[in-house]
Structure 1
Amino acid sequence: MSNVKVLPLLEPEAPEAVVPCCPPLTERPLTADEAEKTARMFKALGDPVRLRLFSLVASHEGGEACVCDISDVGVSQPTVSHHLKKLKEAGLLTSERRGTWVYYRVEPAVVAAMGQMLGSLG
């Protein structure tokens, strides 16, 4: 048995809440429910615009970005909003309204857990 701490994947309960999900893929087979939750996250990142938006938020100074700073990805503002909503629903982003702007932040525990889940394959 290893002393390495494994972070769980997280799944949104509500738009701003997360709960544990899944173990590393090499630890044991995923249950149907775990596979569904995990697939939702990877499906959200499977769209090039969403992946780009996720990257823009993740790499933005301070770890968060105003929608006004990341909306130039080659699609209309309503489409940007749709993609950001999908990323939030998948538990990959959180958001906070400040005045007229919405600020997005990558959910670090989710990203770390996804990386750990896949990193164990190597």
Structure 2
Amino acid sequence: MSKSETPVADVPCCPPMATTRVPAASAAALAHAFKALGDPIRLQLMSMIASAEAGEACVCDLTPAFEISGPTISHHLKVLREAGLVDAERRASWVYYRARPGMLQRLATLLTVDEAAHA
């Protein structure tokens, strides 16, 4: 993230883009998260983390699900972390990842379309 970008955690949730224009500051920060999810591997990782039974996933469980190297998985997880989509916690030699529900809710709210309003 460049110095000029607003940290995602500081971006207020905005109304659905189908109802009003997205403010510039929100758009810049949220675009960073959408860009992170624009990669198929990161989208799958995000899905695995968000749907994990205990609410978190160990990198030791994520890595074997892909046919790419551990360092590449680590890079993708770093991108998700920097985009504000996941939190990470080191425990001994493993890192555990948790989805950030607030950020996922911001993205979901932005994409919400009220079918009745547009009918």
Which band: TM-score by shorter chain?
0.7 to 0.9
Is residue 33–residue 83 contact of structure 2 (8 Å, CA) maintained in 1? yes
Listed as ranges, the gaps of 5+ residues in structure 1 are: 1-10
Q: CA deviation at 1:50?
A: 0.4
Amino acid in structure 1 at the alignment position of 2:99: V
Q: Does 1:98 align with 2:91?
A: yes
TM-score by length of 2: 0.81
Q: List 4+ stretches of structure 1 deviating above 6 A.
A: none
Q: Which residue is 2:29 aligned to?
A: 37
Local SS of the residue matching 2:105: helix
Q: Could you tell me how far 1:46 is from its partner in structure 2?
A: 0.4
Cα RMSD after superposing both structures: 2.0
Q: Report sequence identity in percent.
A: 46
Partner of 2:68: 75
Q: Structure 2, unaligned stretches of length 5 or more? A: none
CA-to-partner distance for each residue in 1:47-75, whole Å, 9 max, x for gaps? 00000111111111111001001012121
Aligned to 1:6: none
How many equivalent residue pairs? 109
The residue number in structure 2 matching 1:50 is 42
Distance 1:28 1:20 in 2: 17
Report if aligned partners of 1:65, 1:105 keep a CA contact under 8 Å in 2: yes
Higher strand share: 1
Q: State the TM-score, normalizing by the size of structure 1.
A: 0.80
Q: Is the 8 A contact 1:53 1:70 kept in 2?
A: yes
Q: 1:19 aligns with which of 7, 10, 21?
A: 10
Alignment match, 1:8: none
Q: Deviations 1:63-111 (Å, cap 9, x if unpaired)? A: 1001001012121100000000000010000000111110000001111
